[in-house]
Structure formats: structure tokens, C-alpha cells
């Protein structure tokens, strides 16, 4: 698996989802490619929309185990981390903790006000806006993206619907590698100020063959969300980052969350990211143009803002019930991941079940940064965490797994 800046597979997300164990009650699955309409309920949705579906019977979460949370967070050696932080909230208890330093040059400790790069958590913001546009009848989830973005994908590609982009069942080809060695930390550092356009990113998948018939399998791909962000711009006439700000960030007061565009810096208090070089030294990789992750992994936020966003999203403040239900509806049972495991991605959210507790949310990672936000559907337990590994590889799974265990084990 390529771990270049152009890679579209999230190491951390795959690792956390790989920690799945048997669930007491599984997530909703679609009976067909279109998610079913929610069942009626006596509670009406915000904004006078259709009635919200009855929530599933809650599975009690265990009491907060603070010693276990602290131990999971404070291990900075497996793998090597420079910092970590975890915010736990919800009706079943709250806790916040940190470990390591935000800046190795000064020794400053991590603070809850610090921002960090959230990587693919960006996709949840993009999916929310796309579903808002769906609710406004500005697009249909079953419309082929080729009709909405004419001429962008090769004519030989079969129709790919908006839903198939949202839930990663598009089957688009793999990206071509960048014009440098993506396994070399020195090469990555030299190219960290490169600028990419979304059209260039789409072109990287335009030369190969489709990997599977759209809608028949699931493979997590960032290019799906590049196309969705382009779709937002086509339908609204504005930059997708400004649309996210206007529809989500400003209404919710998420003042520490931003879409940086070509600005490689983090502004205000933030956690620095570091990358292990070939000679064993650590390079501060905080400054990094994120345009290679345009539309799918470039945003910046902090734990408080992400917790607020997750709360508003799950509470129905951002979407009517029908569109919100799509974020919790997996493809039909016959649609499997390309490795044969069960599908785990809905429209914008992914799911994982640990110790019988089913969580919904999203992971993200960039060089020097890894993060996650997850919650039970009833919000008994929400968690937002970030950690800063010096190598971007599969060892990051250890951090996500031990935090997930500490959050869900009695």
C-alpha cells in the first residue's frame, strides 16, 4: 500500500476498523442500493422536516475507566509518538487527557486548545454538505456523477452514482504514483510544498481500468471525495471550503476548524507533527501543503470543535432524518470490502464494534498527524483523539486499538 501524499487509503481507519469484534446489535444495512426511508416517529426533526426514525435500543456502555484511558494514551513508545490527546464525552461520562509535547523545540505540553490536521475526518464535513444539498433537492443520490460533472471522468467508465462515491463503492482505478519515491521520507519532505489541483488528482485515476463494477464491492478511496467536493463547487458556485464554513463551521461556532487550501502553515496554538528520517532524526513536518488531499483530507480542527460537530450531526441539527439515516446505513450484505470482510463505510461515516459497543465516526491521518472521532449512535459515549506518530505506517493501529479497548471494556 502506497503511503505517499497521494495515497487514498487511510492506514489508521483500516486499522481501527480491523479491531471489529462481534456486535450485540449490528448496524443498519440497506436492502438495496438506496437506503430505506426511516420509520415514522412521534418526534419531529429540526427545521420541520420528516419525522426522525426511532433509535435502536441502546446498549449500555461501561463506566469510564480513567486508569485504562490514561494508560492507553500515555504509551508513547508503541509506536513512537511525540504527543497524544483524548477527549471523552457523552451522557455516560467525560474525561480529557494529554501526553507528550506539542512542540519538541520548546517542550510545551499539549493543551486542549491546540489544533491539528484531521486528515480524512474532512470527509464527514463533505458528506454532510452533499446530503444537505440532497435534502434541498439539488441532486439525487442515484444520479451518475458523470452527468453532474460532465467530461471529468473518461467516457469508458460506467455510471458511478453519488451514493457510490459517498460509501466507497465506486470501483475507480488506483491512482498513479507521484513523480518521486513515496517510500523515501526525504523525498516526501522535499515535495511537501507541491501544489495540486483537484483536476490533477482526478487525472491520476483516469488512465487505469475500473477495479470492480460500481456498487458491487467496497474499497475506501479518497478520490471519491475529491469528486464530491468538486460536485459541491459545481452545484453551489463557491469553493467547497467556503461552503463548509457557511453551512457548518460558522453556524456551529467552530472557530478553530478550517480548510487551509494552499496555506501550508498551522496558525495559532497547535500540535507539531514530526517524521522520522532515514538517518533516525526527526523532521518537523508541520508545514505541509495539503492540496494533495484536496476535498478529502486537508482540514484542521481541535478536539472541542470535533466533539461539537459530532454532537450536532448525530442530534439531527445538520441534516433531516432521511439524509441522516444514510450516514448510518451500510451497503447490502452482499457488498463486501475488496478483501472479503464486511462493508464498514456508510455515507461519510465508518463503523466499528469493539467489545459489543458499536461506534460510528471517522478516522484521519496525514504525515505527523492521526486522529479519530467516534460515538455510539445514542451518544452515551463520544470520543475524539489525536496522536502524532513519527512513522506513517500500520503500527499506528496499536494506538487506535488500545484507545478503543479502553473506551468500551468494562
Predicted confidence at residue 30, as pLDDT, reads 77
CA-based max dimension of the chain:
63
Predicted confidence at residue 55, as pLDDT, reads 54
Is pLDDT above 80 for 24? no
**Pick the residue with more confidence: 73 or 8?**
73
Is pLDDT above 60 for 398? yes
Q: How far is CA 231 from the centre of its chain?
A: 18
Predicted confidence at residue 178, as pLDDT, reads 81
Predicted confidence at residue 39, as pLDDT, reads 36
Is pLDDT above 50 for 3? no
Q: Give the predicted TM-score (pTM) of the model.
A: 0.90
Task: Please give the Cα distance from 407 to 410 (Å, whole number).
Answer: 9
Q: Which of 241, 290, 282 is nearest to 262 (CA)?
A: 290
Look-up of cell digits 469508458:
156
Question: If you write DSSP's letter for every residue of 209-270 in order, what string do you get?
Answer: --SS-TTSEE---THHHHHHHHHHHHHHSS-HHHHHIIIIIHHHT-TT-B--TT-----SSB
The predicted-structure confidence for 276-317, as pLDDT tens digits, reads as follows: 999 999 999 999 999 999 999 999 999 999 999 999 999 999
Domain ranges (residues) in the chain: 11-408
Is pLDDT above 80 for 26? no
Task: Please give the Cα distance from 264 to 260 (Å, whole number).
Answer: 7
**Pick the residue with more confidence: 177 or 302?**
302
**Pick the residue with more confidence: 157 or 7?**
157
The predicted-structure confidence for 83-122, as pLDDT tens digits, reads as follows: 999 999 999 999 999 999 999 999 999 999 999 999 999 9
Is pLDDT above 70 for 129? yes
Question: If you write DSSP's letter for every residue of 132-171 in order, what string do you get?
Answer: HHHHTTS--TTSBHHHHSTTSS-TTSPP-BHHHHHTT---
Predicted confidence at residue 34, as pLDDT, reads 38
Highest mean pLDDT among 176-180, 182-186, 282-286: 282-286
The predicted-structure confidence for 44-66, as pLDDT tens digits, reads as follows: 333 333 344 455 567 899 999 99
Residue pair 289/248 in contact by the 8 Å Cβ criterion: no
Predicted confidence at residue 87, as pLDDT, reads 98
The predicted-structure confidence for 204-221, as pLDDT tens digits, reads as follows: 999 999 999 999 999 999
CATH fold for domain 11-408: Beta-lactamase (3.40.710)
Nine-digit cell string for 33? 442500493
SS (H, E, C) 70-124: HHHHHCCECCEEEEEEEEEECCCCCEEEEEEEEECCCCEECCCCCEEEEECCHHH
Amino acid at each position: 500500500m502506497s503511503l505517499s501524499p497521494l495515497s487514498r487509503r487511510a492506514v489508521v481507519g483500516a486499522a481501527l476498523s480491523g479491531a471489529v469484534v462481534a456486535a450485540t446489535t449490528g448496524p443498519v444495512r440497506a436492502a438495496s442500493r438506496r437506503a430505506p426511508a426511516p420509520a415514522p416517529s412521534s418526534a419531529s426533526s429540526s427545521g420541520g422536516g420528516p419525522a426522525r426514525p426511532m433509535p435502536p435500543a441502546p446498549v449500555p456502555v461501561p463506566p469510564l475507566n480513567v486508569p485504562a484511558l490514561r494508560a492507553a494514551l500515555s504509551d508513547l513508545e508503541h509506536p513512537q509518538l511525540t504527543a497524544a490527546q483524548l477527549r471523552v464525552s457523552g451522557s455516560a461520562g467525560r474525561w480529557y487527557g494529554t501526553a507528550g509535547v506539542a512542540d519538541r523545540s520548546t517542550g510545551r505540553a499539549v493543551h486542549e486548545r491546540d489544533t491539528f490536521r484531521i486528515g480524512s475526518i474532512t470527509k464527514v464535513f463533505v458528506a454532510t454538505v452533499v446530503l444537505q444539498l440532497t435534502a434541498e433537492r439539488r441532486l439525487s443520490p442515484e444520479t451518475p456523477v458523470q452527468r453532474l460533472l460532465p467530461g471529468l471522468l473518461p467516457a469508458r467508465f460506467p455510471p458511478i452514482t453519488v451514493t457510490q462515491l459517498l460509501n466507497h463503492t465506486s470501483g475507480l482505478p488506483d491512482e498513479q504514483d507521484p513523480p518521486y519515491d513515496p517510500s523515501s521520507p526525504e523525498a516526501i519532505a522535499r515535495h511537501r510544498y507541491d501544489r495540486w489541483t483537484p483536476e490533477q488528482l482526478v487525472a491520476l485515476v483516469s488512465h487505469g481500468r475500473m477495479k470492480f463494477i460500481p456498487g458491487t464491492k467496497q474499497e475506501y478511496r479518497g478520490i471519491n471525495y475529491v469528486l464530491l467536493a468538486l460536485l459541491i463547487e459545481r452545484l453551489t458556485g463557491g469553493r467547497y471550503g467556503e461552503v463548509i464554513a457557511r453551512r457548518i463551521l460558522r453556524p456551529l461556532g467552530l472557530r478553530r476548524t478550517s480548510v487551509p487550501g494552499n496555506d501550508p502553515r498551522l496558525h495559532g496554538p497547535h500540535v507539531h507533527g514530526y517524521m522520522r528520517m532515514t538517518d533516525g532524526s526527526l523532521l518537523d513536518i508541520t508545514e505541509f501543503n495539503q492540496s494533495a488531499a484536496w476535498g478529502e483530507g486537508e482540514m484542521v480542527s481541535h478536539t472541542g470543535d470535533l466533539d461539537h460537530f459530532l454532537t450536532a450531526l448525530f442530534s439531527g441539527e445538520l441534516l433531516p432524518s432521511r439524509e441522516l439515516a444514510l450516514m448510518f446505513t451500510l451497503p447490502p450484505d452482499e457488498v463486501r470490502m475488496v478483501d472479503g470482510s464486511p462493508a464498514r463505510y456508510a455515507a461519510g461515516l465508518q463503523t466499528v464494534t469493539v467489545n459489543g459497543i458499536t461506534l460510528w465516526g471517522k478516522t484521519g491521518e496525514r504525515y505527523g498527524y492521526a486522529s479519530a472521532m467516534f460515538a455510539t449512535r445514542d451518544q452515551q459515549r463520544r470520543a475524539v483523539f489525536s496522536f502524532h506518530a513519527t512513522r506513517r505506517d500500520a503500527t499506528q493501529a496499536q494506538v487506535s486499538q488500545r484507545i478503543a479497548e479502553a473506551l468500551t471494556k468494562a
